[in-house]
Amino acid sequence: MTISDRPPWVADAVFYQIFPDRFAASSRVAKPANLEAWDAPPTRHGYKGGDLYGVIEHLDWLTDLGVNAIYFNPIFQSASNHRYHTHDYYLIDPLLGGDPAFEALLEACRDRAIRVVLDGVFNHASRGFFRFNDILESGSDSPWQDWFTIRSLPLDAYREGEPPNYSAWWNDPALPQLNTETPAVREYLMRVAEHWVRRGIDGWRFDVPEEIETVGFWEEMRQRVRAINSEAYLVGEVWGQAQDWVNDGSRFDGVMNYPITEANLRFAAAERIDDDVVAPVNLSLTPPLDAAGYATAVAEHFDLYPPEAHQSNLNLLGSHDTARVLSMVGADPDSVSLAAVLMFTLPGAPCVYYGDEIGIPGHQDPGCRAGFPWDRQDDWNHDLLATFRGLIALRSTTPALRHGEYRTLSAEGSMYVFSRTLDDGVVVIAVNAGERGASTGPIGVTVADLVWGQGTSDGVSVSVPRRSAAIWSATR
């Protein structure tokens, strides 16, 4: 593999992250009793009954938004609403509609040219995973003991507040860690990944890959998946610097780009960040950044990776593992809009967490996992929705925003100005995060037409109102 051996379609993608239990529910899937009301505040363990047919029935929403790729949180059989507690890696959860719903989803997505990326949770399974369950039942007679790291028997899997007597993710007894040093475990996980790529998915998002330390595991995973689909996208959940994971192209194409999330929000929201909301989240959103600080943060981050990796990183404002972006920025929709401008115009593939485009609020898990309020459009932020739609449309029709070289043009006070350049096409993006209008001096390119937002230009400099952004076409 080489550093340029990355799927070319990713740079052109706009991802939408779907938490299946909470996005949409269809009458085509029989619902069990004891579901939470769809509009009730989400709880940590309750189910709302979203399913894959519900996703199919709302694909027009995604295409109207401009989405052409979906990243799904886990969809395999599990005893949890988030499905990170995998019971069977080869079965689509029956509450999601099972295999028929999955096949119908793939077909419907193919018809709309929407890519599908699944969540691969290969570090840990669950107490209901057959081999672990066999150890619970059979103890020392179980043939599956080497699939896990067991310190003593019988397994003590349900004692609250005490670390289990086996290796578990963050000592959570519900999440026994798979022992990937055992060849049979490693082979099992490789075949799971291969199976679903053969079934037609377009890639994997790998959960907590740093937890799997087996030498060569991720290199083999890449080789085997890409042998089936040479354009399969492999992206890792690595929250910090990830040079070892992406730079030489032997493991992942990119990572979930949380450092850019942090920089974008620290600049766009500044002192509006709600520390009480952010505190439980694994994000650093203080201190605020002015334009110069933001320019430095982005430059330092871009220095970490080759251009091909930046094109394949997944840029986001928030996810199922953070509070809702609107809540993190103190319920200020302007901050969300400014951060969205940055997300959609920086190198990398933007990813919208379901409902962020209409301003769904929510604190950390479970608050960030509410049901999409399809029937409460009066609660939507329609201005924010228009912002997302407009930015996605512009990105989709402007090659320089997807593939162009990135360069800082001005970083003074509260306004950051940069360009994306592809051949003779130049786009200038100006974000003014301050409370007053701001102007630049000459920025080194010839500014032409305003293509999005609010701003003026005399051809050599730009001006943008307070808490606003503007995008122009330009020439060298």
Nearest CA to 84 out of 27, 44, 112, 124 is that of: 124
Do residues 371 and 391 lie in contact, with contact meaning Cβ atoms separated by under 8 Å?
A: no
Q: Which of 417, 422, 418, 424 is nearest to 400 (CA)?
A: 422
**What gap in Å lies between CA 390 and CA 392, rounded to an integer?**
6
CA angle 417-423-428, nearest 5°?
15
Paired tokens of 302: 């871009």
Rounded distance between C-alpha atoms, residue 354 and residue 349, angstroms: 16
Query: CA separation (Å) from 322 to 232, 237, 275, 350, 423?
Result: 27, 13, 13, 16, 38
Nearest by Cα to 319 from 351, 344, 342, 350: 351
Catalytic positions, written as ranges: 207, 237
β-bridge pairing 233-236 and 203-206: parallel
- Give the torsion through C-alpha atoms of 102, 103, 105, 110, to 10 deg: 140
Write out the two tokens for 41: 């505040």
Half-sphere CA count of 174, side-chain side, radius 13 A: 11
* Secondary structure string (H, E, C) spanning 216-230: CHHHHHHHHHHHHCC
Q: Of 283, 235, 253, 205, which Cα lies nearest the Cα of 2?
A: 253
Alpha-helical (H) ranges within 112-180 are 130-138
